[in-house]
Amino acid sequence: MAKKVVVVVSERHSRPNFMEQAGRFAEVVIASNRDQAMQELRHAEGLLLWDMESTVASNSSLAPKLEWIHVPGIGVDTVISQDVLNSAVVVTNTRGIFEHPIAEYVLGMMMLVTKDFRKTYDCQRAKTWNCRPTSSLRDQVAVLVGPGAIGREIFKILTAVGVRVCPVGRRVVPRDPVFGHVHSSDELKDLLPGADTVILSMPLTGETAGFMNEARFAQMKHGSCLINIGRGGLVDEGALIKAIEDGQVGAAALDVFAVEPLPQHHPFWTMDQVFVSPHMSGEVYGWEERAIEQFLENLERWAKGEPLKNVVDKAARAV
Protein backbone atom coordinates (compact mmCIF):
# COMPACT_ATOMS: atom_id res chain seq x y z
CA MET A 1 0.00 0.00 0.00
CA ALA A 2 1.36 3.41 -0.98
CA LYS A 3 2.38 5.86 1.70
CA LYS A 4 0.45 9.11 2.03
CA VAL A 5 1.94 12.60 1.63
CA VAL A 6 0.13 15.80 2.59
CA VAL A 7 1.09 18.83 0.52
CA VAL A 8 0.34 22.05 2.39
CA VAL A 9 -0.31 24.96 0.04
CA SER A 10 -1.37 28.54 0.60
CA GLU A 11 -5.01 29.40 0.01
CA ARG A 12 -3.71 32.14 -2.29
CA HIS A 13 -2.15 29.67 -4.71
CA SER A 14 -3.57 27.15 -7.13
CA ARG A 15 -3.03 23.39 -7.10
CA PRO A 16 0.68 22.56 -7.65
CA ASN A 17 1.53 21.24 -11.10
CA PHE A 18 3.60 18.28 -9.91
CA MET A 19 0.76 16.25 -8.40
CA GLU A 20 0.53 13.72 -11.23
CA GLN A 21 4.26 13.01 -11.11
CA ALA A 22 4.21 12.68 -7.32
CA GLY A 23 1.27 10.31 -7.54
CA ARG A 24 3.53 7.68 -9.12
CA PHE A 25 5.29 7.20 -5.79
CA ALA A 26 2.70 7.94 -3.09
CA GLU A 27 -0.88 8.88 -2.35
CA VAL A 28 -0.73 12.68 -2.48
CA VAL A 29 -3.39 14.99 -1.05
CA ILE A 30 -3.61 18.79 -0.99
CA ALA A 31 -4.37 20.80 2.15
CA SER A 32 -4.99 24.52 1.68
CA ASN A 33 -5.66 25.42 5.31
CA ARG A 34 -4.63 24.33 8.78
CA ASP A 35 -7.76 22.30 9.60
CA GLN A 36 -7.47 20.35 6.35
CA ALA A 37 -3.81 19.67 6.97
CA MET A 38 -4.36 18.42 10.52
CA GLN A 39 -7.18 16.15 9.37
CA GLU A 40 -5.15 14.62 6.54
CA LEU A 41 -1.98 14.26 8.61
CA ARG A 42 -3.64 11.85 11.01
CA HIS A 43 -3.14 9.12 8.44
CA ALA A 44 -0.07 10.43 6.56
CA GLU A 45 3.58 9.45 6.64
CA GLY A 46 4.92 12.43 4.67
CA LEU A 47 4.50 16.21 4.72
CA LEU A 48 5.55 18.71 2.06
CA LEU A 49 5.31 22.34 3.18
CA TRP A 50 4.92 23.93 -0.25
CA ASP A 51 3.58 26.90 1.72
CA MET A 52 6.85 27.75 3.46
CA GLU A 53 5.09 30.12 5.88
CA SER A 54 2.92 27.33 7.26
CA THR A 55 3.42 26.46 10.94
CA VAL A 56 1.47 23.19 10.74
CA ALA A 57 4.57 21.19 11.65
CA SER A 58 5.80 23.35 14.52
CA ASN A 59 2.62 24.52 16.27
CA SER A 60 0.76 21.22 16.39
CA SER A 61 1.19 17.87 18.05
CA LEU A 62 3.15 15.43 15.94
CA ALA A 63 1.07 13.33 13.54
CA PRO A 64 1.20 9.71 14.74
CA LYS A 65 2.45 8.11 11.49
CA LEU A 66 4.70 10.95 10.27
CA GLU A 67 8.12 9.89 8.97
CA TRP A 68 9.30 12.70 6.73
CA ILE A 69 8.94 16.47 6.37
CA HIS A 70 10.26 18.30 3.31
CA VAL A 71 10.70 22.07 2.95
CA PRO A 72 11.15 23.59 -0.56
CA GLY A 73 13.57 26.17 0.82
CA ILE A 74 16.66 26.39 3.00
CA GLY A 75 15.27 27.55 6.35
CA VAL A 76 13.52 25.02 8.58
CA ASP A 77 12.77 27.13 11.67
CA THR A 78 9.01 26.70 11.08
CA VAL A 79 9.49 22.92 11.24
CA ILE A 80 11.83 22.14 14.12
CA SER A 81 9.47 21.91 17.07
CA GLN A 82 10.41 20.08 20.24
CA ASP A 83 8.20 17.19 19.14
CA VAL A 84 9.94 16.96 15.78
CA LEU A 85 13.34 17.29 17.42
CA ASN A 86 12.64 14.43 19.83
CA SER A 87 11.16 12.17 17.15
CA ALA A 88 12.56 9.96 14.41
CA VAL A 89 10.98 12.19 11.76
CA VAL A 90 13.48 13.01 9.00
CA VAL A 91 13.54 16.65 7.85
CA THR A 92 14.91 17.56 4.43
CA ASN A 93 15.29 20.92 2.73
CA THR A 94 16.18 22.24 -0.71
CA ARG A 95 19.79 23.06 -1.51
CA GLY A 96 21.83 24.36 -4.42
CA ILE A 97 19.10 26.67 -5.74
CA PHE A 98 18.89 29.70 -3.49
CA GLU A 99 22.42 30.12 -2.15
CA HIS A 100 24.01 31.95 -5.09
CA PRO A 101 21.05 34.29 -5.78
CA ILE A 102 21.09 35.29 -2.11
CA ALA A 103 24.81 36.03 -2.37
CA GLU A 104 24.08 38.18 -5.43
CA TYR A 105 21.46 40.05 -3.40
CA VAL A 106 24.03 40.78 -0.69
CA LEU A 107 26.53 42.05 -3.25
CA GLY A 108 23.83 44.17 -4.88
CA MET A 109 22.83 45.77 -1.60
CA MET A 110 26.43 46.51 -0.74
CA MET A 111 26.84 48.15 -4.15
CA LEU A 112 23.63 50.10 -3.64
CA VAL A 113 24.91 51.55 -0.38
CA THR A 114 28.56 51.98 -1.35
CA LYS A 115 27.84 53.65 -4.71
CA ASP A 116 24.97 55.71 -3.28
CA PHE A 117 22.63 54.58 -6.06
CA ARG A 118 19.51 55.66 -4.20
CA LYS A 119 20.66 59.28 -4.18
CA THR A 120 21.65 59.03 -7.86
CA TYR A 121 18.13 57.84 -8.69
CA ASP A 122 16.57 60.59 -6.58
CA CYS A 123 18.68 63.15 -8.41
CA GLN A 124 17.60 61.72 -11.75
CA ARG A 125 13.95 62.05 -10.82
CA ALA A 126 14.60 65.64 -9.71
CA LYS A 127 16.61 66.33 -12.91
CA THR A 128 19.56 67.37 -10.73
CA TRP A 129 23.14 66.96 -12.03
CA ASN A 130 24.92 65.96 -8.82
CA CYS A 131 28.45 64.74 -9.64
CA ARG A 132 30.06 63.45 -6.44
CA PRO A 133 32.55 60.83 -5.21
CA THR A 134 31.37 57.53 -3.74
CA SER A 135 33.14 54.74 -1.89
CA SER A 136 34.71 51.54 -3.23
CA LEU A 137 34.00 47.98 -2.16
CA ARG A 138 37.66 47.08 -2.51
CA ASP A 139 39.26 46.61 0.93
CA GLN A 140 35.99 47.14 2.77
CA VAL A 141 35.56 44.79 5.73
CA ALA A 142 32.45 42.63 6.05
CA VAL A 143 31.66 40.54 9.10
CA LEU A 144 29.69 37.53 7.89
CA VAL A 145 27.78 35.82 10.70
CA GLY A 146 26.74 32.37 9.56
CA PRO A 147 29.31 30.25 7.66
CA GLY A 148 26.83 27.77 6.20
CA ALA A 149 26.03 27.07 2.55
CA ILE A 150 24.67 30.59 1.96
CA GLY A 151 27.59 32.12 3.82
CA ARG A 152 30.04 30.27 1.61
CA GLU A 153 28.49 31.73 -1.54
CA ILE A 154 28.49 35.20 0.00
CA PHE A 155 32.14 34.80 0.95
CA LYS A 156 33.11 33.75 -2.59
CA ILE A 157 31.26 36.56 -4.37
CA LEU A 158 32.43 39.31 -2.01
CA THR A 159 36.08 38.27 -1.94
CA ALA A 160 35.99 38.22 -5.76
CA VAL A 161 35.37 42.00 -5.77
CA GLY A 162 37.97 42.76 -3.12
CA VAL A 163 35.94 42.79 0.10
CA ARG A 164 37.77 41.45 3.14
CA VAL A 165 35.30 39.03 4.72
CA CYS A 166 35.56 37.89 8.35
CA PRO A 167 33.39 34.76 8.75
CA VAL A 168 31.90 34.15 12.20
CA GLY A 169 30.37 30.91 13.47
CA ARG A 170 29.51 29.36 16.80
CA ARG A 171 33.05 28.16 17.30
CA VAL A 172 36.54 28.75 15.89
CA VAL A 173 37.53 26.76 12.81
CA PRO A 174 41.22 27.40 12.15
CA ARG A 175 41.50 25.76 8.72
CA ASP A 176 38.24 25.79 6.79
CA PRO A 177 38.69 24.83 3.09
CA VAL A 178 36.61 27.81 1.87
CA PHE A 179 36.86 30.49 4.55
CA GLY A 180 40.34 29.82 5.86
CA HIS A 181 39.86 30.93 9.45
CA VAL A 182 36.37 31.09 10.98
CA HIS A 183 35.99 33.25 14.09
CA SER A 184 33.72 32.39 16.99
CA SER A 185 30.78 34.58 17.97
CA ASP A 186 32.64 35.40 21.18
CA GLU A 187 35.05 37.46 19.03
CA LEU A 188 32.31 39.71 17.62
CA LYS A 189 33.00 42.44 20.17
CA ASP A 190 36.45 42.78 18.61
CA LEU A 191 35.31 42.39 14.98
CA LEU A 192 32.24 44.63 14.84
CA PRO A 193 34.07 47.95 15.44
CA GLY A 194 36.14 47.40 12.30
CA ALA A 195 33.37 46.22 9.96
CA ASP A 196 31.89 48.39 7.21
CA THR A 197 29.09 45.84 6.75
CA VAL A 198 27.61 43.18 9.02
CA ILE A 199 25.83 40.34 7.20
CA LEU A 200 23.50 37.89 8.95
CA SER A 201 23.15 34.53 7.20
CA MET A 202 22.57 32.09 10.04
CA PRO A 203 19.38 30.17 10.86
CA LEU A 204 16.94 31.22 13.54
CA THR A 205 17.28 29.04 16.63
CA GLY A 206 16.78 29.49 20.35
CA GLU A 207 20.42 30.55 20.51
CA THR A 208 20.34 33.10 17.67
CA ALA A 209 16.98 34.79 18.35
CA GLY A 210 17.58 38.51 18.94
CA PHE A 211 21.24 38.02 18.04
CA MET A 212 21.69 41.63 16.89
CA ASN A 213 20.61 43.57 19.94
CA GLU A 214 21.28 46.97 21.44
CA ALA A 215 24.67 45.93 22.79
CA ARG A 216 25.90 44.59 19.45
CA PHE A 217 24.61 47.61 17.51
CA ALA A 218 26.60 49.79 19.91
CA GLN A 219 29.73 47.77 19.06
CA MET A 220 29.35 48.33 15.31
CA LYS A 221 31.38 50.97 13.50
CA HIS A 222 29.49 54.26 13.47
CA GLY A 223 27.59 54.60 10.20
CA SER A 224 28.16 51.00 9.06
CA CYS A 225 25.62 48.83 7.23
CA LEU A 226 23.56 45.83 8.36
CA ILE A 227 22.31 43.24 5.85
CA ASN A 228 19.93 40.51 7.01
CA ILE A 229 19.09 37.62 4.69
CA GLY A 230 18.73 35.05 7.49
CA ARG A 231 15.53 35.43 9.49
CA GLY A 232 13.79 38.48 10.90
CA GLY A 233 13.96 37.10 14.42
CA LEU A 234 17.76 37.42 14.40
CA VAL A 235 17.37 41.19 14.88
CA ASP A 236 15.87 43.19 17.72
CA GLU A 237 13.97 45.54 15.40
CA GLY A 238 13.32 48.15 18.10
CA ALA A 239 17.04 48.32 18.87
CA LEU A 240 17.83 48.59 15.14
CA ILE A 241 15.39 51.47 14.67
CA LYS A 242 17.03 53.32 17.56
CA ALA A 243 20.53 52.61 16.20
CA ILE A 244 19.51 54.00 12.80
CA GLU A 245 17.91 57.09 14.31
CA ASP A 246 21.08 57.70 16.34
CA GLY A 247 23.27 57.28 13.25
CA GLN A 248 25.09 54.32 14.75
CA VAL A 249 23.82 52.18 11.85
CA GLY A 250 24.07 54.10 8.61
CA ALA A 251 22.06 51.74 6.41
CA ALA A 252 20.14 48.50 6.71
CA ALA A 253 19.17 46.15 3.87
CA LEU A 254 16.50 43.82 5.18
CA ASP A 255 14.95 40.93 3.28
CA VAL A 256 13.40 39.27 6.35
CA PHE A 257 11.37 40.59 9.26
CA ALA A 258 9.95 39.52 12.60
CA VAL A 259 6.43 39.74 11.14
CA GLU A 260 5.86 39.00 7.46
CA PRO A 261 4.43 40.58 5.42
CA LEU A 262 5.88 43.69 7.04
CA PRO A 263 2.94 45.60 8.61
CA GLN A 264 1.93 48.80 6.80
CA HIS A 265 2.52 50.93 9.88
CA HIS A 266 6.07 49.65 10.48
CA PRO A 267 8.73 52.43 10.63
CA PHE A 268 11.06 50.55 8.25
CA TRP A 269 8.82 51.45 5.28
CA THR A 270 9.55 55.16 5.55
CA MET A 271 13.12 55.24 6.90
CA ASP A 272 15.50 56.57 4.23
CA GLN A 273 18.36 54.46 5.56
CA VAL A 274 16.43 51.18 5.26
CA PHE A 275 16.00 49.07 2.13
CA VAL A 276 12.99 46.75 2.43
CA SER A 277 12.57 43.71 0.20
CA PRO A 278 9.76 41.15 0.69
CA HIS A 279 11.72 37.98 1.55
CA MET A 280 12.73 37.48 -2.07
CA SER A 281 16.53 37.48 -2.07
CA GLY A 282 16.71 33.85 -3.20
CA GLU A 283 13.80 33.81 -5.61
CA VAL A 284 14.94 33.62 -9.21
CA TYR A 285 13.09 32.50 -12.32
CA GLY A 286 12.95 28.71 -12.49
CA TRP A 287 13.43 28.02 -8.77
CA GLU A 288 10.09 26.21 -8.43
CA GLU A 289 10.89 23.73 -11.21
CA ARG A 290 14.26 22.92 -9.66
CA ALA A 291 12.72 22.61 -6.18
CA ILE A 292 10.09 20.22 -7.56
CA GLU A 293 12.82 18.09 -9.13
CA GLN A 294 14.55 17.77 -5.76
CA PHE A 295 11.31 16.89 -3.99
CA LEU A 296 10.32 14.27 -6.56
CA GLU A 297 13.76 12.66 -6.38
CA ASN A 298 13.49 12.41 -2.61
CA LEU A 299 9.89 11.22 -2.85
CA GLU A 300 10.97 8.34 -5.08
CA ARG A 301 13.83 7.50 -2.71
CA TRP A 302 11.45 7.59 0.26
CA ALA A 303 8.92 5.34 -1.47
CA LYS A 304 11.68 2.82 -2.23
CA GLY A 305 13.15 2.96 1.28
CA GLU A 306 16.39 4.57 0.07
CA PRO A 307 18.36 7.25 1.99
CA LEU A 308 17.08 10.78 1.43
CA LYS A 309 19.14 13.69 0.16
CA ASN A 310 19.56 17.06 1.93
CA VAL A 311 18.77 15.71 5.40
CA VAL A 312 18.79 18.49 8.00
CA ASP A 313 20.73 18.14 11.24
CA LYS A 314 17.75 18.79 13.53
CA ALA A 315 19.80 19.10 16.71
CA ALA A 316 22.04 21.80 15.21
CA ARG A 317 18.99 23.85 14.12
CA ALA A 318 17.31 23.67 17.52
CA VAL A 319 20.04 24.83 19.91
Based on the fold, state whether residues 142 and 166 are members of the same structural domain.
Answer: yes
Based on the fold, state whether residues 92 and 103 are members of the same structural domain.
Answer: no
Based on the fold, state whether residues 272 and 290 are members of the same structural domain.
Answer: no
Based on the fold, state whether residues 51 and 36 are members of the same structural domain.
Answer: yes
Based on the fold, state whether residues 269 and 291 are members of the same structural domain.
Answer: no
Based on the fold, state whether residues 124 and 245 are members of the same structural domain.
Answer: yes
User: What single-letter DSSP state applies at residue 130?
Assistant: -
Work out how many domains the chain is built from and give that number.
2
pLDDT at res. 1: 76
Look at residue 286 and tell me whether its pLDDT is greater than 80.
yes
Look at residue 319 and tell me whether its pLDDT is greater than 60.
no
Q: What percent of the chain has pLDDT over 70?
A: 98
Cβ neighbourhood burial of 176 (10 Å; 0-12, 13-18, 19+): middle
- 219-278 pLDDT, tens per residue? 999 999 999 999 999 999 999 999 999 999 999 999 999 999 999 999 999 999 999 999
Based on the fold, state whether residues 89 and 202 are members of the same structural domain.
Answer: no
Based on the fold, state whether residues 167 and 294 are members of the same structural domain.
Answer: no
- Residue 30's domain comprises 4-96+285-318
* Whether the Cβ atoms of residue 22 and residue 296 lie closer than 8 Å to each other: yes
Based on the fold, state whether residues 237 and 138 are members of the same structural domain.
Answer: yes
- 159-208 pLDDT, tens per residue? 999 999 999 999 999 999 999 999 999 999 999 999 999 999 999 988 99
To the nearest 10 degrees (0 to 180), the angle between helices 117-125 and 99-114 is 60
Strand partners for 225: 197, 251
Based on the fold, state whether residues 148 and 271 are members of the same structural domain.
Answer: yes
* Whether the Cβ atoms of residue 234 and residue 204 lie closer than 8 Å to each other: yes
pLDDT at res. 13: 67
Higher pLDDT, 198 or 20: 198
Supply the CATH number for residue 267's domain.
3.40.50.720
pTM (global) more than 0.85: yes
Q: Measure the CA–CA gap between 262 and 277, rounded to whole angstroms.
A: 10
